[in-house]
Amino acid sequence: MEIWKLLFFIPACFALNMTPGPNNLLSMNNARCYGFKSAWIAGLGRIAAFTVMITLAASGLAVVLYASEMLFFIIKVLGVAYLFWIAFNLWCSEASPISEIERSRNLLGLAKQEFLLAAGNPKAILIFTAFLPQFVDVAANANAQFFVLGLTFLLLEVAAISLYALFGIYLRQWFKKPQMAQRFNRVCATLLAVSGINLLLSRQQ
């Protein structure tokens, strides 16, 4: 694809990647509780979900989802329900980080949580359906262009995961006291719940 299109795509895409949505808030809190490595590995679950969505968008199947209000609504409700479940558990969670043994045991669970949270957000697939095609030249090989754009998006998403995780590590020193940590958990839980309400009330555009 033309390099100038990619140069326009990268800053616009990175702005989307850095939006403080549910997954980024989750990465930040995971890093604060379990460390940078755990948060980064958990973020790979999100990358897996986005890879599936980009593949769907490239194959045209996402258009079917976009056109079907019922499918869109079902995915939205399931995503919101899971988001509320995460918010509830975070609100009730222990203030102190888990131990090293529990941490290694729960990496898969953290990655699964990131995957389900990303997969349950229909706005993500709409981004890939409406945003990525704007940078595709229909006169050229569309699949190759989708591959380049999709790979760029995923690399920028990894950068966003790293930055939010680093911020979570920075916050750790401010929340060593259990009471402060619990307050932070509940702030994140509230923000996740608000994101869920916003998602539930949003309309398919």
Q: What is the DSSP letter of 175?
A: G
> Nearest to residue 98, comparing CAs of 41, 175, 34, 36?
34
Residue 120 structure tokens: 């349950």
Q: Consecutive sets of 10 residues in the chain, 205 residues long: mean pLDDT of each?
A: 78 82 86 89 95 83 60 68 74 56 66 88 71 74 84 94 91 67 72 71 56
pLDDT of residue 175: 61
CA atoms in the 13 A half-sphere facing the CB of 159 = 15
CA distances 12 to 62, 104, 156, 175, Å, are: 21, 36, 11, 33
Buried b (16+ CB within 10 A) or exposed e, 133-163: bebbeeeeeeeebbebbbebbbebbbebbbe
The predicted pLDDT at position 98 comes to 43
Domain boundaries, the chain: 3-68+97-174
User: What pLDDT does residue 100 have?
Assistant: 42
Residue 93, number of CB atoms within 10 A of its CB: 17
Q: Report d(CA 49, CA 113) in Å as an integer.
A: 11
d(CA 27, CA 115): 12
Name the token pair of 128. 């890939």
Sole residue written with tokens 């869920």: 196
Distance CA 201, CA 197 (A): 6
pLDDT of residue 64: 59
164 neighbors 114 (Cβ within 8 angstroms): no
C-alpha 136/C-alpha 143 separation (Å) is: 9
Q: Residue 28's closest CA among 198, 178, 185, 199?
A: 185
Predicted pLDDT at 205: 45
